[in-house]
Amino acid sequence: MYAALKVIHLGSLVMWLGPALGSWLVLRYMQQQEGELSPATANVYRVFFWTLTLEHIALVTLLLSGATMAFMFGFISMPWLQQKLWLVLLIIVPLEIVDIWLGNWKVNRLIAARSAGNTLTARQQVLVQFYHKSFTNLALITLPATVLVIMWLAVSKQALW
């Protein structure tokens, strides 16, 4: 049972980080090459938002498989895991909640409306820009550093302090 949960946990980690990052890179490329409002970029946006859904399903699976292993096998009392959980709960979960709200609902609907020919208001355009610039840049700095520390804790099984 432990081995199966570990495979699910690691597979979910890969699915959480990989596809959305890859589709974001393709989206950025298309925005730069074809322009934000081109039909090609609109198609890439559809794939991007689909991969965000996949990313967030993988995150839930990652969290559930991790919690199951922590409680089922008694790891929850270990200091390295407690530190890992603090990082997850204080950094990753809040970022992902904002990403789910913006990426899966708000910005997704705004981009779909824009692709259908509707003009976005200035406030809506600011929200799209916030998601693609400020929020994404924050996530691109914060998530890799946090994930590296979490991986070190998981592999070394040694607390940071």
**Would you give per-residue pLDDT tens digits along the chain (161 residues)?**
999 999 999 999 999 999 989 999 999 999 999 999 999 999 999 999 999 999 999 999 999 999 999 999 999 999 999 999 999 999 999 999 999 999 999 999 999 999 999 999 999 999 999 999 999 999 999 999 999 999 999 999 999 98
Q: Is residue 147 included in any domain, yes or no?
A: yes
User: What is the distance between the alpha carbons of residues 93 and 90, in angstroms, rounded to a whole number?
Assistant: 7
Q: Is residue 31 included in any domain, yes or no?
A: yes
Into how many domains does the chain fold? 1
pLDDT at site 4: 97
pLDDT at site 105: 94
Helices (H) and strands (E) in the chain, counts: 7, 0
Q: Is residue 21 included in any domain, yes or no?
A: yes
Q: Is residue 143 included in any domain, yes or no?
A: yes
Structure tokens at 26: 């393709």
Q: Is residue 87 included in any domain, yes or no?
A: yes
b/e code 64-81 from CB counts within 10 Å (16+ = b): ebbeebbeeeeeeeeebb
User: What is the distance between the alpha carbons of residues 109 and 80, in angstroms, rounded to a whole number?
Assistant: 40
Q: Is residue 161 included in any domain, yes or no?
A: no
pLDDT at site 19: 93
pLDDT at site 102: 96
pLDDT at site 33: 96
User: What is the distance between the alpha carbons of residues 87 and 91, in angstroms, rounded to a whole number?
Assistant: 6
Q: Is residue 63 included in any domain, yes or no?
A: yes
Q: Write out the residue range of the structural domain in which residue 139 sits.
A: 2-156
pLDDT at site 66: 97
pLDDT at site 64: 98
Q: Is residue 17 included in any domain, yes or no?
A: yes
